Amino acid sequence: MASAALHREQPLPALLATESSVTAVDDACGVLVRLFALGRSVRAAALAAALPSLGVDGAVALGLVRLEGGRAGFGADRLGRTDRDVLPLCDLRPYGDDAHDWWVASDLSELAVGGPLRPDHVLGIGGASTTLASWTARRSVERALDLGTGCGVQALHLTGHVGAIIATDISERALAYAAFNVALNVALAASDGAGAIPDVELLSGDLLDPVAGQRFSLVVSNPPFVITPRDQDLPLYEYRDGGRAGDTLVRSLVRQVGTVLEPGGVAQFLGNWEVRAGRTWLDVWGDWLDEQAREGVALDAWVIQRESQDPAEYAELWARDGGAQPGSEAHSRMYAAWLRDFAARGVERIGFGVVTLQRPTTDRPTWRSLDEAHGPVAAPMGPTIDAGLRARTWLDEHSDDEVLDVAWSCAADVTEERHGTPGAEDPSVILVRQGGGLGRVVRAGTLLAAYLGVADGELTARVALDAIATVLGTDAADVYSELVPQVRDLVADGLLV
């Protein structure tokens, strides 16, 4: 309960649950949570017991904590008392995935400091970090780039499947945290006998500047994509605002990232995009990708819009993130600044989504897939992205005749729902539902339902459709022209494999 409340930014249950940890010498977890996640002091003796090999002096020397009243005497004060308070200097917590356990330090959260954040605040692991980590297609590759590494969380994930990793940031504080976290986890992996993890080279600079001329098979970035008004009254945080107006940072990443991709290389990032009056998000992406093809390296593009907000919803989200309480004067000022900024550019909606770009290995024309998926999706999503990239590329390179010559089968996570009015013999609606992946639900007509019923990997689509045409007494060519686009659509998203 306390952990769930913390995720809603309510520290009280966790503070109560760890009240006795302040002085406890037998509750390492409570002591560390209270100190490093809640940002509250504990007694030196309690910390000494929680960190038996590092000790309080070691934690002070590493810059993780400070002693109330200065450094003198470290764990004990001049009189040898060990009941001094220890205060945290950073957030430090365990984090991992199915295969890894890491520890990650970052700046103390707003909740812990109880006041406004510094402009160069180094963000801990948040919802956007875990979204990108989940959606990353984790192919084993030689070289990868984590652009805007922050505390280094994406770089840590890359250590599981990449030979050489470069991580960049414009913030020196972020690079220092990333260096600490990499060193800490390299050491932990060695001491746990988990095997060596590759080191991470850290470079400072703006967007792709530090890696100009280099090539990567994978680029990941959770960039500072938040659209922030250029208003002097607003706090600007490096972690969420890249110093550019509107959505130009994401747009320039789209335009330029191809220059650092190997043929066959993939770039994945999160972004926001502005949709102005009279336009759709598809128009916006059409323009961005045309611009990329004209001015940069043309890339295959798979963009999945996950959310679309109006300017007020967007302003409420980010004004709160700045620490201003709804109803306060500061909040109203920020809210109004966002609304004015969007109104000045005629912005009516702001899209959020996951962008996957792929550099073709040949000079074939590129493909585009602009999809919406607002519902729950598989976790992790990386395998879906990986399979979807391969499927889309295959479909692009093969004719309708070649699609017909494959013996497709329905994926194991696909089920069918039949809905009808009570008593009716035939269903009026047939829905085909994907259990994993993008969780797609497709309404199937008679032909598609009939085909999916026999798509078991034995018959080619052509043979199956010919048989269906014979049974229905229709022309096979008509069946092909209705069904091949639908088969392509289902193959692209993995409902047919």
| Sites of contact with ligand SAM (CB under 6 A) | 123, 129, 132, 148-150, 153-154, 168-171, 174, 206-207, 222-224, 238-240, 242
Torsion sign over Cα 191, 193, 196, 201: negative
Shorter beta-carbon distance to ligand SAM: residue 132 or 297: 132
Shorter beta-carbon distance to ligand SAM: residue 176 or 339: 176
Nearest to 168 by CA among 158, 16, 359, 160: 158
Q: Report, in Å, the least distance between residue 240 CB and ligand SAM.
A: 6
Q: Report, in Å, the least distance between residue 25 CB and ligand SAM.
A: 35
- CA 491 to CA 127: how far, in whole Å? 30
Shorter beta-carbon distance to ligand SAM: residue 224 or 323: 224
Shorter beta-carbon distance to ligand SAM: residue 44 or 117: 117
Q: Report, in Å, the least distance between residue 235 CB and ligand SAM.
A: 15
Torsion sign over Cα 310, 312, 315, 317: negative
CB 407 within 8 A of CB 459: yes
Shorter beta-carbon distance to ligand SAM: residue 171 or 366: 171
Nearest to 295 by CA among 249, 258, 242: 258
- CA 89 to CA 66: how far, in whole Å? 7
Q: Report, in Å, the least distance between residue 169 CB and ligand SAM.
A: 5
Q: Report, in Å, the least distance between residue 239 CB and ligand SAM.
A: 4
User: Angle of helix 281-295 relative to helix 248-256, nearest 10 degrees?
Assistant: 40
Shorter beta-carbon distance to ligand SAM: residue 150 or 351: 150
DSSP string, 435-446: SSTT--EEEE-H
Burial class (CB in 10 A: 0-12, 13-18, 19+), 295: exposed
Q: What is the 3-state composition of the chain as percent helix, strand, coil, each rounded to the nearest 5?
A: 40, 25, 40
Nearest to 170 by CA among 207, 139, 197: 207
**Looking up tokens 């909740």, which residue turns up?**
111
CB count, 10 Å around CB of 447?
A: 18
State the Cα angle at 238 between 138 and 176, rounded to 5°. 70
- CA 185 to CA 153: how far, in whole Å? 11
CA 228 to chain centre: 20
Q: Report, in Å, the least distance between residue 165 CB and ligand SAM.
A: 13
Shorter beta-carbon distance to ligand SAM: residue 171 or 272: 171
Shorter beta-carbon distance to ligand SAM: residue 177 or 285: 177
Shorter beta-carbon distance to ligand SAM: residue 309 or 486: 309
C-alpha distances (whole Å) from 332 to each of 9, 263, 301, 454 are 21, 49, 38, 60
Shorter beta-carbon distance to ligand SAM: residue 51 or 165: 165
Q: Report, in Å, the least distance between residue 256 CB and ligand SAM.
A: 12
Q: Report, in Å, the least distance between residue 132 CB and ligand SAM.
A: 6
Strands (E), 284-333: 300-309
Q: Report, in Å, the least distance between residue 218 CB and ligand SAM.
A: 14
Torsion sign over Cα 12, 14, 17, 20: negative
Q: Report, in Å, the least distance between residue 166 CB and ligand SAM.
A: 12
Shorter beta-carbon distance to ligand SAM: residue 241 or 300: 241
